[in-house]
Amino acid sequence: MSGMVKCIVWDLDNTLWDGTLLEGDSVSLKPGIREVIAELDSRGILQSVASRNDFDLAMEKLREFDLDEYFLYPQITWSDKSGSIKRIAELLNIGLDSMAFIDDRQEELAEVASVCKDVLTLDAAVYKELTGMDEFKPKNITSDTGLRRRMYMDDIRRKDEESAFAGSNSEFLSTLGMKLTLSKVREGDLERAEDLTLRTNQLNSTGITYDYEQLKEFVFSDNHLFLIAELEDRFGSYGKIALALAEKTTFALDIKLLLTSCRVMTRGVGSAMLVYFIKQAVRDGLKLTADFIDTGRNRVMYVTYKLMGFADDSGDDEAGKPVKLLYEGGAREYPPHLVVCEADQIEN
């Protein structure tokens, strides 16, 4: 475990509630646990379940306690808890190193720890202490934070509809009515911008994180173009889900950072932001370059650059070493499934 928890996975029997459901116990919620769950949710920490139980009975009990909507992709099966946690991480598209698991049985905690070494394992006895632990204290609470679970719930509905859709992926995307708004980062966006750099690992082109003061300097810099992107579709808003930072020189526009939330990995947001920079460079007759650093987790960003026409002539694939990419294509258009709004007439 390294850093902030993005999702905590709960056991049920004698963890979330007192008693064993399948033994016919009249189970009752642990004292104060509802408040703990609600507080974690308000901080944008996702929650799920990994329990050896009967799915229908357990979900009925969670609905009875009015807690069912807090838990995304609950894994209530007879399988190993480690397998359930891996499945939840896959469905949420987050790393195991941002997961926590809480259970009352030491053998279950040991099984998860042995298979999923990056997962933070916690004894159920400490449940009242969770909200005071550093791993559950996000640095910033923004307008998007308390809506994170709702955004994931909207995404579950999207995925369900996509699974039932008979056409191609591009055809499905065209049905969503997606609108991408690109804006210059303002002071009021800085906490969310910092949060994005701290939370985004897989889709960060350099792996570099920035604190509030560093980001604030870019907002007021005449030599930088600093963008934040917000996405919405007919299901609702994804929130502010991407950042891009480019440095302007006399002869070039140099992209220093491109990152997008994992929730929009398949929506073409990164490509659209690159198109914006391509348009700027072509219009102003500038060379367009970009920084990339292989962190071992962000290779998909390198692929995005390559597919968009950026060349890498370094011949150096050493992880952790900065690579300078050069755009070698011509003018580009935004992905056809996205309506892109360049809000506030972004200035150069």
The predicted-structure confidence for 27-38, as pLDDT tens digits, reads as follows: 999 999 999 999
Model pLDDT for residues 282-329, shown as the tens digit of each residue: 999 999 999 999 998 899 999 999 999 999 876 655 667 889 999 998
Chain centroid to CA 69: 19
Strand partners, 9: 48, 101
Class level of CATH domain 7-136: alpha beta
pTM: 0.76
Written as six digits, the tokens of 33 are: 């646990």
Helix, strand and coil content of the chain, in percent to the nearest 5, comes to: 40, 25, 35
Q: Are 198 and 207 in contact (CB under 8 A)?
A: no
Q: How far is it, in rounded angstroms, from Cα 52 to Cα 255?
A: 48
pLDDT beyond 50 at 131: yes
Instruction: Please report, for the chain, the start and end positions of each structural domain, with discontinuous segments joined by +.
Output: 7-136, 145-345
Phi, psi of 55 (to 5 degrees): -60, -50
The model's confidence at residue 348, banded by pLDDT at 50, 70 and 90, is very low
Task: Mark residue 259 as left, alpha or beta (left: phi above 0; alpha: psi -120 to 50; beta: remaining).
Answer: beta
Query: In the β-sheet with 322-327, what is the strand arrangement from edge to edge?
Result: 310-311, 322-327, 287-293, 252-260, 236-248, 224-233, 178-184, 338-342
Q: How many beta carbons lie within 10 A of that of residue 128, not counting itself?
A: 13
44, 11, 55: which is closest to 30 by C-alpha? 11
- Can you tell me the distance from the alpha carbon of 328 to that of 308, in angstroms, rounded to the nearest whole number? 9
| Side-chain half-sphere exposure of 87, counting CA atoms within 13 A | 16
Across 196-205, b (16+ Cβ under 10 Å) vs e yields bbbbbbbbbb
Name every residue whose Cβ is closer than 8 Å to that of residue 294 and which is 6 or more positions away in sequence.
302, 317, 318, 319, 320, 321, 323
Give the Cα separation of 145 and 233 in Å (integer).
19
* Stretch among 39-53, 133-147, 168-182, 263-277 having the lowest mean pLDDT: 133-147
The residues, any chain, with a CB within 8 Å of residue 102's CB and separated by 6 or more, are: 8, 9, 10, 11, 15, 121, 122, 123, 124, 126, 127, 130
Mean pLDDT, range 265-272, rounded to an integer:
93
CA-CA distance, 13 to 219, in Å (whole number)? 50
What are the tens digits of pLDDT across the range 3-25? 789 999 999 999 999 999 999 88
Pick from 113, 145, 119: nearest CA to 44: 145
Q: Cβ distance 255 to 244 under 8 Å?
A: yes
Q: What percent of the chain has pLDDT over 70?
A: 96
CATH of the structural domain 145-345, one choice from 2.40.50.100, 3.40.630.30, 1.10.1200.10, 3.20.20.210: 3.40.630.30
